[in-house]
Amino acid sequence: MARGGFPGGGMNMNNMMKQAQRMQQDMLRMQQELEEQEYTASAGGGVVEATVTGKNRVTAIKINPEAVDPDDVEMLEDLIVAAIGEAMNQAETAAADQMKKITGGMNIPGLF
């Protein structure tokens, strides 16, 4: 057995540390890119559209005038919530997909 109790000596440990550092750098870069990305989704057949960032911040809401019915404000509210929820789901899915690419599918607790 080589020094430090690891087969192959300290070289394998050095390689593992370098690989972990590269993965960390890739994750930070990916996270920044995802946070800057915008995701748009619609509801009600497109009468309501919401755009969010990768940080789940709502940046835009578009409402087609035909969706505005003074007698049914509740429906419009539901459409807005649905559009925002779907846009946030898109952002979350994109983050998870990118994380799988970086980690090779390893499940690392605390990440996304």
| Paired strand residues for 63 | 48
Residue 38 lies in a domain: yes
Q: Which domain holds residue 65?
A: 6-103
pTM over cut 0.85: no
User: pLDDT category, 76, cuts 50, 70, 90?
Assistant: very high
**Residue 8 scores a pLDDT above 60:** no
Q: How many domains does the chain have?
A: 1
Q: pLDDT: is 94 or 111 the higher one?
A: 94
Interval 32-55: pLDDT, tens: 888 889 999 999 999 999 999 988
pLDDT over 90 percentage in the chain:
39
Give the CATH number of the domain where residue 41 resides: 3.30.1310.10
Residue 108 lies in a domain: no
Q: What DSSP designation does 48 have?
A: E
